[in-house]
Amino acid sequence: MKKILVLCTGNSCRSQIAEGYLRFFANGRAIIYSAGIETHGVNPKAIATMAEDGIDISMHTSNNINEYRNIDFDLVITVCDNAKEACPYFPNKAAQFHHNFPDPAKATGTEDEIKQMFREVRQQIKIYCETFIKEHFN
């Protein structure tokens, strides 16, 4: 079974959302991990935003990339430019993919405007993850 790692800066929003959608769309055909260059904890707004779309990420944990050093990943997806630039070298043959999504945790404005930013980023990540699984598992 293929192992996929989603890598971000803090493993709090974008990588957590991507992990949730990749698990959903892979439907048991892959083992999905997410990690950060740092760990910031799973953002409660990311949890709430995913719950709106029927995906429960409330039990996810924020993990540091160093926790996964001994796992031979098949696919590594970086979801922000910072993670791509700081992405450690993986000694195996992991295929690397990159898409820079906006960081919803940096959204400003009213509570409704911030929620809307989370929803927009969630939708972008959802489309990316659905397409990714179709391209690599169908």
- The kind and range of the H/E element at 49 are helix 44-52
Least Cα distance to 99 among 126, 118, 73 occurs for 126
Give the DSSP letter string of 95-126. Answer: EEEE-----GGG--SSHHHHHHHHHHHHHHHH
Q: Which residues are catalytic?
A: 8, 80, 87
